[in-house]
Amino acid sequence: MPEKQIVLKNCGVIDPRDIATYLDKDGLKALEKARDEMTPEQIIEQLKASGLRGRGGAGFPCGLKWELARGALGDEKYIICNADEGEVGTFKDRYILERDPFTLIEALAIAGYAVGAKRGYVYLRAEYHRLLDLLRGAITQAREKGALSHFDIDIREGAGAYICGEESALMDSIEGKRGEARYKPPFPPTSGLWAKPTIINNVETLMNIPQIILNGADWFNQVGTEQSKGTKVFSISGDVKKPGVYELVMGSQLRELIEGLALAERVKMIQIGGATGRIIPYDMIDAPLAFESILGAGAIIVFDESRDTIDIVHRTLEFLAEESCGKCTPCREGTEVMVEIMEKLYKGEGVERDIITLEQLSQVMMLSSLCGLGQAAPNPVLDSLQHFRNDYESRIK
Amino acid sequence: MSGTQERVPTHGRGKEDLLVLLEEAQSKSGYLSEDIITELAQSVAMSVSDVYGVATFYSFLSTKPLGRNIIRICQSLPCHLKDSRMIIESLEDELGIKPGETTLDGKFSFELANCIGVCDEAPVMLINNDVHGNLTPEKISEILKSYK
């Protein structure tokens, strides 16, 4: 299946510092249509019919999320754009923000109208501080064009914490606190930011919305697979000749992306979805990229035959142990123990028992961790044990 | 607590703005001293330990003095694959300090960072807010020279 540009349509085409160039490309027309010709309920129905699902990794149906927040009781509601892409190997949202901040702002304004919110936040990771002026300028220009007359947008900056990409930790961070995951339920559409109904959408999810409003649900849901409509934007790095950002129709083969576009050779394995994502061997390269098979938030790191599985898993776990927020024991302690064992294996000092411990610990963490970080932290361990067990066994004394 | 002018004007903002206030204070004063933390705790009516808890949670906030320029070199997998270890070592040689330290002249602080989202140019580092990508050990000294 081919490359197709929905999300990246304006990237490299418009001037991100000049809204006039955006208006030339039908900019703000979707917002105009939404506000003038559609009720909030009609917008939500259209979104539901489009089949758009969240692009941050979890794949929750976007229209349903909006409907829940619209229907929730509350005088104040909030829209949050999650621009805290901290997943290892992800840089697509940065690419989008740098090139087309206006579509994002338009989408937020549509969300505000549809959900009944008067305020929105863009939570921008500290590592992207250099984009702050560009984003502020784009918001000011959109405001001057009347796009934000019913709804206004603030930017809140993170301060360097991977966990704040997790939606409940992100909300705590906006509230000025340590970014620690919350117990769920309640979920954000009923009780989110400051305990008010809140929707949190990834940058890429929002980027789809103006075109769905303009072109209709049927236009969008004809693209992709049964459960994954539209396109997906991928960030590719590692052992490839052409690292970068690519947008493909949902359901495209991993091979097309990795070998066809990024020009990888002698691939040993691929990590899909970052540190908490999945590790698959080369012989699964014909897997379709879709929610029903394998996707994540679109971070793809390619490893060639020269790479050491244990080194890769060790580095991944060091990252997760550092970034665990520390609130729940299984994640805080579990990731540390995993690092210790991986380090022993890396040095060739592992013992038979280590593999069993890794497997048992994985089960405990998946069952009992508070949020996705701890629940998915065992993925790289279990996947590599499944596909590259010899690499572990050869490190045992 | 010192009796000098307020280091961090809060403009009536409360504890829901604590992270913003800490970010502002750090960008103004370079780091979050005990005095600043105590002062902020009073003005937003929180305990000093709670404010300290927030200040130490985030890697871009610092409770110890930093150099004028902060180097953050990415150590995550995409950079690791492109020999970020070599870049770290050449920075150590060039600056005479290890990660987590500040040069004696106060010019540079050197930290290791987790993924900074420029993996297509690995290995990368941030100096303050500037991205330096496709690094080689040879490029390091030239780049450092451009900072005062």
Q: Comparing A19-218 with A231-304, is the CATH topology the same? A: no
Rounded Cα distance between A326 and A331, Å, is 7
Q: Tokens 């998946």 map to which residue?
A: A366
What pLDDT sits at residue B7?
64
Rounded Cα distance between A365 and A337, Å, is 11
3-state secondary structure of A352: helix
Q: Per CATH, which fold does A231-304 belong to?
A: Ubiquitin-like (UB roll) (3.10.20)
Query: From the DSSP assignment, how many helices (H) and strands (E) are in chain B?
Result: 6, 5
Smallest Cβ–Cβ distance between A160 and the set B58, B121, B129 belongs to: B58
Rounded Cα distance between A85 and A297, Å, is 9
Q: Residue B3's pLDDT band (boundaries 50, 70, 90)?
A: very low
Rounded Cα distance between A126 and B22, Å, is 13
Among A80, A61, A86, CA closest to A229: A61
Closest chain A residue to B53, measured at CA? A178
Q: Which two tokens stand for residue B99?
A: 């990660």
Q: Which two tokens stand for residue A55?
A: 């692009």
Q: How far is CA A370 from CA A163, A168, A192, A328, in A?
A: 12, 11, 17, 6
Rounded Cα distance between B130 and B117, Å, is 13
Sorted by where each starts, the structural domains of chain B and their CATH numbers stand as 1-63 (1.10.10.1590), 69-145 (3.40.30.10)
Q: Residue B4's pLDDT band (boundaries 50, 70, 90)?
A: very low
| Residue B2 pLDDT greater than 50, yes or no | no
Contact A47, A209 (CB under 8 A): yes
Most A-contacting residue of B77, B83, B131 (CB-CB within 10 A), to test interface: B77
Please give the DSSP secondary-structure letter assigned to residue B7.
Answer: S
Number of Cβ within a 10 Å radius of residue A39: 11
In tens, the pLDDT along A5-61 reads 999 999 999 999 999 999 999 999 999 999 999 999 999 999 999 999 999 988 999
What pLDDT sits at residue B8?
67
In tens, the pLDDT along A129-175 reads 999 999 999 999 999 999 999 999 999 999 999 999 999 999 999 99
What pLDDT sits at residue B6?
61
What pLDDT sits at residue A1?
57
Contact B120/A322, CB-based, under 8 Å? no
Size of interface A-B (CB pairs under 8 A): 121
Vertex A276 angle, CA A206 and A121, to 5°: 30
List CB contacts (< 8 A) between A162 and chain B.
114-115
In tens, the pLDDT along B130-139 reads 999 999 999 9
Number of Cβ within a 10 Å radius of residue A107: 26
Q: Which two tokens stand for residue A334?
A: 């579990």
- Does residue A185 have a cis peptide bond before it, meaning omega lies within 30 degrees of 0? yes
List CB contacts (< 8 A) between B59 and chain A.
159-161
Average pLDDT of span B92-120: 97
Whole-model pTM: value is 0.96
The rounded Cα B98 to chain-centroid distance in angstroms is: 15
Q: Residue B9's pLDDT band (boundaries 50, 70, 90)?
A: confident
* Mean pLDDT, rounded, of chain A: 97
Average pLDDT of span B96-120: 97
**Between residues 82 and 111 of chain B, which touch chain A (CB distance below 8 Å)?**
none
Strand duo B108-113 + B69-74: pairing: parallel
What pLDDT sits at residue A2?
78
Contact A155, A124 (CB under 8 A): yes
Element (H, E) at B138: helix B137-145
> What is the number of alpha carbons within 13 Å of residue A348 lying toward its C-beta?
1
Furthest CA-CA distance within chain B:
52
Please give the DSSP secondary-structure letter assigned to residue A286.
Answer: T
| Residue A114 pLDDT greater than 60, yes or no | yes
**Between residues 321 and 340 of chain A, which touch chain B (CB distance below 8 Å)?**
322-323, 325
What pLDDT sits at residue A393?
95
Number of Cβ within a 10 Å radius of residue B49: 9
| Domain A309-393: CATH architecture, name and number where available | Up-down Bundle (1.20)
Q: Is A173 on the interface with B (CB under 8 A)?
A: yes
Q: Which two tokens stand for residue A72?
A: 């929730």
Q: How far is CA A137 from CA A23, A114, A116, A153, A283, in A?
A: 15, 25, 25, 12, 47
Contact B77/A244, CB-based, under 8 Å? no
Residues 6+ apart with CB under 8 A from B69: B107, B108, B109, B127, B128, B147
Average pLDDT of span A290-295: 94
Rounded Cα distance between B60 and B136, Å, is 25
| Residue B112 pLDDT greater than 60, yes or no | yes
Domains of chain A by residue range:
19-218, 231-304, 309-393
In tens, the pLDDT along A243-291 reads 999 999 999 999 999 999 999 999 999 999 999 999 999 999 999 999 9
Average pLDDT of span A71-85: 96
Average pLDDT of span B110-135: 97
Backbone φ and ψ for A235, nearest 5 degrees, come out as: -110, 120
Number of Cβ within a 10 Å radius of residue A146: 13
| Residue B41 pLDDT greater than 80, yes or no | yes
Strands (E), A158-243: 198-202, 231-238
User: Which listed CATH number (3.40.50.11540, 3.90.1150.10, 1.10.10.10, 3.40.50.1170) goes with A19-218?
Assistant: 3.40.50.11540
Contact A91/B117, CB-based, under 8 Å? yes
Average pLDDT of span A190-208: 97
